[in-house]
Structure 1
């Protein structure tokens, strides 16, 4: 049964007749539109997010991700369409909804000269949250050891974790994260992924925008790939990857064999060298690997199937966008 549908029996005389009651998704977006001058920043976006889901919105620069997210959060007014968050419209700003959502923006802004503990307690006080809850949240995002450090002295990863703690301090049901790992080093990114997994495992619904395809593959239950203000594809990352039907890449160390020799192998469709490795594309990787083994040419062999990045590039194009 669809998770958004429940049945409830009704009694007529001695006969119980089942009925179907449609329950709202945690987030429901229908035909969302936003126009700036002659540009349709958001052009009819629609999707649903179930309770407890980790949902990603992916897209190139200027695709409309942040604009759509800010409308759903209630920070911008839509020009058209409908949005429901926890059964309520986010615009105009609804004081009943605000305590139930947490928002982490692209650019974090903190009160100057406050320590991490003071910062979080200040945010919590806006919702009537006791200080002990704020202190516990510092522990949950791994910042207990930085509680007395001023925010301007925190590293980029620590500041991002504090920003997320501020979005969570009042225990919201839905959390919105706009590129939370942008500009972080690999260690900080991985650490923050662990924090986000724990948040989601705790039962919160998370909506994330990101440019990182590996981040989306690791964290998200489903993703919407957006470009030019429209949803191009929507589904679980693994399902989107399987639907691409892309060739497998098999690579070996440079010098093991030439591109011309590789093209003569069974199952090889394309071959290219970059001075470091030779990579072939094939739809029959077992035949290619067997042929390489027969030639003793498995030095540095690597096999890579399609990824969410391949899906993204196939849908949005490969040209650079500033």
Structure 2
């Protein structure tokens, strides 16, 4: 670990830099732990530029944690729509209910109590404690992992157990005795804006002289690159079943990709040729109770979800007959085309809805 002289210089220089370089972000308007929490959950695996508008809409709709706790999950998901990783929204809602029920609607201050909330891990709990309450809690996320690995010239995989142990120890070691809120935000800001994954701006970095990777001319090599994701191709079909000016929607079940969101009946197929067989029509009838032939193609959407590259063929249903079956685990409803904006739809479901609206 660096010595005390290094620490004093590092803390002084990074705080001075942050004082003039901090971005004007809506969640930095105050230290409200509720707003800090929402922003940290939204920022997980999502860029700041994307989160800004979502945060403003979400916090306007649910200005307090009790407002969020009292909301319907469907409304929470509708405001989250397009942000992805919907489990975050469901856990956010569940955690708000815990705060309302077990903490009388007041956001907890203790690290252990915050860590116990659904969807909150060590980093998020530390971010809330330090940013909102100025408590000496270390943080470690994607930007600071990269920053710290370079400061230490750590050449092993920082996501492995040994690397995580070292970097958490370092994150705690460098904490100042005061203004931890600004300090931890400065670390994330530096990692996000200056110590970037590619082409880091070492020439304007406020702590470049303290960086061991810079001394060793190894900034480009640290941290070691992640293994490339091996993507799997999938072909799926969405069926648009019409009844006059209404279309059929299905709410995704708890164990499905978009749990809690609404989508058009969707099926995986082995190949596009399977569309021509009667198997897809049989699956539609089994799932919905409605018998129909698979008709003309409305559109094709290519998109990615986690490790999958999906080609989604969207087809009209023709000659629909039968009665809609009841399914408590994945409800089915007829929705007016001009009211689809009221439903929390999957990303591709929203694209199909916009096409139908035209």
TM score, norm. by length of structure 1: 0.24
Higher strand proportion: 1
Higher helix proportion: 2
